[in-house]
Amino acid sequence: MKKVFFTMAMMMLTICSWAQLRNPIIPGYHPDPSVCRVGDDFYLVNSSFHYFPGVPIYHSKDLVNWELIGNVLDRESQLPLKGANSWLGIYAPTIRYHDGTYYMITTNVGNGGNFMVTAKDPRGPWSEPMWLEQQGIDPSLWFENGKCYMVSNPDNTIMLCEIDVKTGKQLTPSKALWRGTGGRYPEGPHLYKKDGWYYLLISEGGTELAHKLTIARSKNIYGPYVGNPKNPILTNCNMLGQSMQIQGTGHGDFVQAKDGSWWVTFLAYRNFGGSYHHLGRETYLAPVEWKAGQWPVVNGGNPIDTLMQVKTLPEVKMPELPKEYAFDKPLGPEWVYIQNPDSTRYDISFNRLRLYGSTSTLTKNERPTFVGRRQEGADFLMESFVDFRESYSGDEAGLTVYQINDGHAEICLEGHREKMRVCFKATLKDLSGTFASVDIDGYEAWLRVRSDGNQYFYEYSFDGKKYKTLFKISCTLLSTETVGGFTGVVAGMYCTKKVKEDLTYANFSAFRFENK
């Protein structure tokens, strides 16, 4: 009997033991998370702005370990991005599940406004867009009693209307619900119902240092809504959180696990080298105590840290993204392009990725020939063997660390096969040019970019073993605070040409991408 009691006690201790929650749960450029649970599974989506495909979708069993299973918007018909930059494109999405169907609602800023797509399987395929009448940004859905309600924030006011879930047609006039507590940019609304109350969660303060989550509630979905006297319910912009590496906490979404526990996913960023962040706004997790009839309390009212002792769900590991690419199959969902790509410029065959040069540069931002991945770790390495024999004077191909179209830095091969050099180039707002170069014999080299979280090192090699550093820069120069943008660093390969009629291409092989 003692043995049985001891075994049961140990099982309970294992299930309910305090664990170390490491934040962020999805690092790197993964802003504006929205989450839903279906049975034992959690699904989460993020903003994607001017990158294609759009709205990455993740799967988890425990809210801590996540696997990228695809992108919701993977066709140009779903995601027109003409002229978009990192201030435009896809803003905060919401994912919901109702009656056998998954719904994703979002805003395409600059190319259409609010729309909704649906799927029977979160891995896709997802439908063509249903365009919506109520505008504002950050739309969300609430299903109840056979009706579908939409909330968004036109005119800095959280507005509610009923829509036809099959067509997107607006069925009722927009009704003002709440303007928040007075912080600027009341946005990111989500509705929940618990213990007879409708709860309206929003973010305020702008997605910067003063970002925060606030909440109001009402007995009627149309209001009036009364704010929590203890708002904000989440912020690191206070005395308790001011010394944390994590800042800008806000834009969250509640989810209840199968065991009854409540959680909130939200965005924040990590500072490096002072008050600078270059990895973008990331996805974080915190526990929520939500007693019957009372207001939710996030993380016991404490600020969010990179390591927190909390009661987590039983751990379920997920597959990790590849670190090495042989280019022997199509690129996975982790790869993104700037705007809608011209598919004729990308070819995978013979264990190499061939990029055909475009006269549009990274700075011009007109569908440049570029493909990359989100940098997800402060310690980071990207390298590739580059063969640039099909090139002319003024052409270039290489590796770039890209924050925004006027904030990027690269190491590249430049010139003609008979006169080639390795260059470090950068565009940092009004500062642009070639800052270091070395002439080489031939038309091929290993190129590498690595970072320790404080600096980027741009390096080259002729054997893939012995590297020389051509240039190094501070990560702060590619931060949001320095060059702007709503995203975070995306690192990858590119190819440009000077003359439109020239057939310019570069072959990339033995590609490696590591985040630590």
**DSSP notation for 446-490:** EEEEEEESSEEEEEEESSSSS-EEEEEEEGGGGSHHHH--SS--E
How far is 43 from 144, CA to CA, in rounded Å?
A: 21
**Catalytic entry in 138, 187, 390, 396:** 187
Going by C-alpha positions, the residue among 405, 413, 414 that lies closest to residue 368 is 405
Going by C-alpha positions, the residue among 186, 190, 200 that lies closest to residue 156 is 186
3-state secondary structure of 154: helix
3-state secondary structure of 73: strand
Contacts of 201 (CB under 8 A, 6+ apart): 188, 189, 190, 191, 192, 213, 214, 215, 252, 253, 254
Residue 150 φ then ψ, to 5°: -120, 135
How far is 284 from 352, CA to CA, in rounded Å?
A: 36
| CB-CB contact of 266 with 252 (8 Å) | yes
DSSP state of 322: P
Considering Cα of 177, then 202, then 113, then 406, what sign does the dihedral take? positive
- Active site annotation includes 32: yes
Tokens of 113: 């406004």
What is the three-state SS of 175-217? EEEECCCCCCCCEEEEEEEECCEEEEEEEECCCCCCCEEEEEE
- Active site annotation includes 187: yes
| CB-CB contact of 295 with 228 (8 Å) | yes
Strand partners, 192: 199
**Catalytic entry in 32, 204, 376, 459:** 32
State the amino acid at position 330 in one-letter form.
P
| CB-CB contact of 189 with 199 (8 Å) | no
Q: Which residues are catalytic?
A: 32, 187
